[in-house]
Amino acid sequence: MSDRYRQAKRALCGIYQEIFEYAYDHYSLPREWRDGDVLITTEPANAEFAPGRLTIVTPGAPEIAWLLNRLRDVFGNTNNVAAGVDFFQRLAHLIKGHEMTATRPYRVNSILKSVIEEAFTMLEQLEEKERRRPVSIADKQLAVV
């Protein structure tokens, strides 16, 4: 495991702990998430101004936006395409599915836990993909004689 993946896993563990302990600061949460083709908001009116975006209207938008911002920081450090739109669309589809089916009172935290678990899975997939990538001569550091 390379250092960048080890650091990313450590960061994800820290974020998971914050979720488990409800340690995110409710007073400084962003109001919504807007990135690429994804909009997660508490206001249905905002959804009208986002044609073509995957839009989720939920009272948990601030907490979800907080988590997605944290994940962007973590996955941006892996220097991989995972920090792009496909990454967040995959997570947004998970959120939307969870939002449509969850009925328990602590729904927001269960959504956050599902998202962070999916982020762990995605990180493992990225690491595995990199391990299987063929190494070219250009990637190797050759000793100068």
Residue 34, helix vs strand vs coil: strand
pLDDT value at residue 75: 84
What angle, 0 to 180 degrees and rounded to 10, lies between the N-to-C axes of helices 3-20 and 61-76? Answer: 160
pLDDT value at residue 106: 56
pLDDT value at residue 101: 79
pLDDT digits (tens, 9 = 90+) for 45-74: 777 766 778 889 888 999 999 999 999 988
Which region among 53-57, 109-113, 132-136 has the lowest average model confidence (pLDDT)? 132-136
Sign of CA dihedral 116, 65, 55, 125: negative
pLDDT digits (tens, 9 = 90+) for 75-84: 875 555 444 5
Report pTM.
0.80
CA angle 119, 121, 123 (to 5 degrees): 70
Structure token digits, residue 123: 């990180």
Please compute Rg for the chain using Cα positions: 18
pLDDT value at residue 142: 47
Structure token digits, residue 28: 């400084």
Terminal alpha carbon distance of the chain: 30
| Residue 33 to residues 38, 41, 46, 62, 137, Cα–Cα distance (Å) | 7, 7, 11, 8, 41
